[in-house]
Amino acid sequence: MKGLIQRVKQASVTVDGHRLSAIDAGLLLLLGVEREDGEAQVQSLCRKILSYRVFPDDQGRMNRSLQDIKGGLLVVPQFTLAADTRSGTRPGFSSAAPPDQANELYLRFIASARAALGTELVGEGRFGADMQVALVNDGPVTFLLEV
C-alpha cells in the first residue's frame, strides 16, 4: 500500500462538476492499493499518515502531525500509484489490486481515519471515478509512504 501525501492549505475533489469533498489545512492523500495488501497494511499506513510529522512547530521545524494540528485529510483513490514503472515507457498494473479489493481497502482506510480524526475532518474521493483534484500545496511538502 502506498500513500502520496501533500501538505496543503486547502484541497478538494470534484466529479462531474459536483464538489464531493473539501478540506482546509491538512493533508491530501493519494492512496494506491496493491494486490498483497490487506487490513494490516490499511491500519499501518493510516497510523503512519496520521502521526507523520510534516507540520511546523513554533520554531518552524516539521515536528507536528495531522493529529497534533487537528487538520483535515482528503483521501483520493489512485490506482496508478501501484504501477510498475521500472522498465519501458508504459506503466504496468499487474501489481495493482483488483477493483473490488482496492475499493474495500480504500473504504476501510477512510473508516480508520474517521475513527481517529472524526468524520468532519476526513473527506474522500470516489473510487473508479474521473476526479478533478484541486489543491493549494503548502511548502511544497510531499512524501511517498509505503507499508
Give residues with Cβ within 8 angstroms of 39, minimum separation 6.
105, 108
Q: Could you tell me the maximum CA-CA distance found in the chain, to the nearest angstrom?
A: 46
Q: Which three cell numbers stand for residue 95?
A: 501489481
Q: How many Cα atoms are found within 13 Å in the side-chain-facing hemisphere of 32?
A: 18
Q: Is 14 a catalytic residue?
A: no
State the catalytic residue, choosing from 80, 85, 119, 142.
80
Q: Is 59 a catalytic residue?
A: no
Give residues with Cβ within 8 angstroms of 7, minimum separation 6.
26, 27, 54, 55, 137, 138, 139, 140, 141, 142
Sign of the dihedral through C-alpha 42, 117, 68, 3: positive
Q: Is 93 a catalytic residue?
A: no
State the catalytic residue, choosing from 14, 55, 79, 109.
79
State the catalytic residue, choosing from 6, 14, 78, 109.
78
Active site residues: 78-80
